[in-house]
Amino acid sequence: MITGTGGVGKTCLAADYCRRAADGADGGVDVLIWVTANTMPAVTGAYAQAARKLELVPSNENAASAAEQFLNWLRVTDRSWLIVLDDVQSPGALEGLWAPRNAAGHGRVIVTTRSRERDFVTSSGHRFLSVGVFTPEESLTHLLNTLQRPIPAGADTELAGLADDLGHLPLALSRASAYLDYNASCSIARYRRLLKDRRLTLERLVPAVRGSAPTSSLVALWDLSVDQADQHTSMLARPMLELAAVLDGTTGIPAPLFTSDAARDWLTERSRTDQLVDEFEAEHTLATLDRLHLIDHTPSEGCDDAWLVHVHQLIQRAVREQQPLGSSPDIRAQRLNTVLPAAAHALLDIWPETGHDQDHAQRLRASARSLATHDQDGESHPLWQDDTAYTLLFRLGTSAGESGDIFWARAHFDALRSLAHQHLGADHPHALFTRSELSRWQSQAGDHSGAVQTLENLEADHIRLLGYEAPETLVTRHNLAIERGETGDTHGTVAALTQILAARQRIGASRGAVLATLHNLSYWKGVAGDAAGAAATYRELLPVMEEEFGADADGTLTARHNLARWLGEAGDPAEAASLLEALLPDQKRALGPRHPRVLFTRQSLSRWRGEAGEMDTAIDGYQELILDMSEVLGPDHPELLTARHNLAHLQAQIDPAAAAVVLAAVIADRTRVHGPHHPATLTTRHSHALCLGWAGNPQKAVQALEDILRDQRRHLAPEDSGTLSNRHSLAHMRGFAGAPQAAIAELQELLHDQKRILSPGHPQVLATFDTLGHWQGATGDAQAASNTYQDLLIHIERYLGPDHLATLSALDKLAMWRGRAGHPREAVSILTRMLTDTRRLVDPADPNVSIINNNIAGWLKQADIEERRRRR
C-alpha cells in the first residue's frame, strides 16, 4: 500500500511496478488489472469486467455477482496476478472488495491512497510505503533528467531554486519541466519570477498535460481531497485549510491556533452553521485533514506536548486560488480579504504577552510575516480594514527585534509608519506608536541620530495633541533624552531625565514610571562619569524594583546588570563579574538560554573577567559567545560586532599585531553596517590604531589617531567622550613616537577639557592624570610627575573613596617620583601607607607586599646615603 499526498508520485510508482511485472521482472504476471478505485462501483465494475474477460461468468452476469466470482477465483487460481487499486479514498470504499490472499501465494495487490496508513491497518493487513516529496538532490536529478531543452552550464543553482519554489513535489516538477520545454523562450530564472507573482495561478504556471482530464490540474488534484474532508467534517475542512493557506506551513503552524476563539469564529462563519464550532469539532477537522495528507499534524520536535501543522506550499497556493464554479473573478480576492484578518486574530489569540520559548515565538513570527506578505500583495491591505487585526504587525516587529533581528524590525516599522499614516491617520494613537517603535529599533541598530530625529518629530506631535506633561509625551521625552545621550550629550541627558523625574512625581505618575526614570537617570549619571554614585543608587533601587515589578521582570534584571557594570567601571571588576555570574542563571530561567539579553550579559561577564585578570576565561567566553551570537542574532548585529571588537581588544594584550588584523575585519564590517563615521566604527578604528602602536609602530598609530580625531570632530558632538578618549590615546602615542613634550602639552590641554566636560572623578580624567605623570617623569621632571600623581591621589580619594583599589597604584607611582625628586623619606612614608592598605584591602599574603617591603628598604637606604652625604 502506497500512501502520501496528491502529486508525490504514488500512481507513477505503481505504474512502474506494473511495467516491470508485465515485462517479466520478478517472475512476470498472467493477469494484471488497474482500477481507478475512488468509488465502490468503480471497483465492482472493474472486477466484473475482469471476470467476463477471464470467462469466469457469462457476459450478461450482473456486476455484483461477477465481481464476487472474480474474488473467489483470485483466492484459488494458480495463475499469477497483480491488481492495482489506484486512489482509494478510504477503507470503506473497499468494504467486501479487498483482494483475498491466494492460497498458493501467486497474487499481489498494490493500493495507492491519500489516507494515512493507520486508516487501513484493520481493513487490509497490507504492508505500507509512505511516499513524500523528493529530497533536494532527487529534485535536481529529476529536473535534469526530464528537461528536454539544452541546460546551460551553471544552471544547477537556478534548478535547485526552482525545486525549492515548487516544494520538491514530483508532479509539480514534471509539469514545470513540460512547461519549460513547451515555452523554450522562458528562462528558468524568469519562470521562477513568474511563480512568485501571485497574480498568476498554478493553472497557468504548472498546467496539466494537453489533452488530459480537467481533474488532472494541481488545484483539482487536491480539491477532490478537500471535498472528501468536508464530507467528514460538516464542511469545516475547507475553511480550516483557508486559514492554514495564509500562514507559514513550512516552518509549522502551532496547532492551538486552529482551536482558538478567532479560528472557531471563522469556521462557524464560513460553514454557515447556527451553532459555534467547538474545540472538539476543530480538532476533529485537523485530524481529518491530516488523515487525507492535506496537512501534517505532528508533535513538535523534542516536545510531544506542542503540536504543529505543516502544509505543503503548493497545497496552500491551490487553496488560495480555488474559485467556485460560476463565481466572479473577484470572489477569490474577497475571500482572501476576509481570511487574513481572521488568521491575524487567531495568531493574536495564541501569542503570549511574554514568552521564553524561542522556537514557538519564531513560528508565530513566520506565520505573521506570511500574513504581512499577503496583506501587501494587493492595494486593499485587508489587515488595516479590520479594527485591530493590524496590531499583529506591531507584535511581529517587536518580537522580531527582541529576538535579535533588529535591522528587519527597523525596516518593518518604517514601512508600518507609512501604512498607519495612510489607513489610520497621522494622529491616530497606533500611528504614533509605530513611530515610537521605529525610534526604538533605529537605536538598537546603532542609528541614534535617526532615532533622535524620529523622536523630536514625535515629541512635537505629542505636545500638540496631548500637552507637554501628558504621560505619553513624557515617555517620548524620556526616550529622546536617552537617544541624545547615545549621540554624546550625556550631561543634557542627565538634565532632561531629572526634569522628567520631577514632572512624573508632580503629576502623580505611576510608581513604575517613576522607577523607570530613576533607573535610567542612575545609568546616565554613570555614563557621565559618576560610576560609584550610579552603583550606589542601583543598590538602593534594586529592592524597590523587585518589590514593584518582580525579581524576574526585564527592568529588574537590567538593573542588576547595570549595577554590575558600574561597580566594574568604579574599579571593582571582580565584584562585577561575580554579580553577573549570579544574574545569568536567573536570566536564563526568566528569558530562555538563547535570549539576546542573556547573550549580552555573557558579553559583559567576559569583559569584566578580562578586566579582573582572568584572561584565559574571558577569551574562552568571548569565543563561545561569538559563535552563539552569530547563530541567534546574525552576522551583522551590533552586539556581535562589539563582541568581536572586545575579544580582539583583549587579545591585543597578548599579541597586538594579530589583534590589529582582527580589528581591521571588524572595521570593514562596522563600516558596511553602520557607515565609516558611526561612533562604533570610530571606536574600532581607535583600538586598531592602538594595536599598531603596541605592535611597535607608534608613528603609524599617531597618523591613524589623527585621522580618527579629524573625523570625530567633523561628525560627532564637540564634547563626545569618544573624542576625548581618542585625544588621550593620541597624546600617549606621541610620547612613544619620540615627542614626549608634545604629549605633555596635549595631555594638559585635554585634562582641562575633561574636567570641564566630565565629572572630576571620571575614569578618563584619572587616566589622563596617570599618563601625564608618566610622560613628565619620562622627560626627567620628577617633581612635576610627583605633583601630578599627588593630584591623582587626591581625586581618587575624593571621588572614589580612600579605600578604592586605584589608590594603591597611585601611591606606588607617587612614592617612586617623590623619591626620585629627592624626597626618599616621603617615599618611605607613602609606601608604608601603601603596605598597610594592601594588607587591609587586598590580602596580607599578596605577593605585592614583599615588593613594597623591598621598595621601602631601597628608599630607606637611599635616605641614609643622602643624610651621610649632607653630614660630610
d(C-alpha 170, C-alpha 188), whole Å: 17
pLDDT at 223 over 50: yes
Q: Give exposure, 178-202, as e/b (b: 16+ Cβ within 10 Å).
A: bbbeeeeeeebeebbeebeeeeebb
Tell me whether strands 129-130 and 81-88 are parallel, antiparallel or unpaired. unpaired
Helix segments in 305-378, DSSP class H: 313-321, 330-350, 358-377
Give the highest mean pLDDT range of 306-310, 359-363, 440-444. 440-444
pLDDT at 214 over 50: no
Q: Per-residue pLDDT tens for 230-264? A: 888 888 999 999 999 999 999 999 999 999 999 99
| Mean pLDDT (whole number) for 346-361 | 85
d(C-alpha 419, C-alpha 397), whole Å: 14
pLDDT of residue 231: 82
d(C-alpha 261, C-alpha 256), whole Å: 10
pLDDT band at 304 (very low <50, low <70, confident <90, very high): low
Least confident of 160-174, 316-330, 421-435: 316-330
* DSSP states of 564-607: HHHHHHTT-HHHHHHHHHHHHHHHHHHH-TT-HHHHHHHHHHHH
3-state secondary structure of 359: helix
pLDDT band at 117 (very low <50, low <70, confident <90, very high): low
Element containing residue 629 per DSSP (H, E):
helix 615-633
pLDDT of residue 325: 46
d(C-alpha 298, C-alpha 295), whole Å: 9
- The residue that leads in pLDDT, 219 or 146, is 146
| Mean pLDDT (whole number) for 278-296 | 90
Name the pTM for this structure. Answer: 0.81
Place of cell 592624570: 769
d(C-alpha 67, C-alpha 44), whole Å: 6
pLDDT of residue 122: 46
Which residue from 429, 330, 344, 343 is spatially nearest to 380, judged by alpha carbons?
A: 330
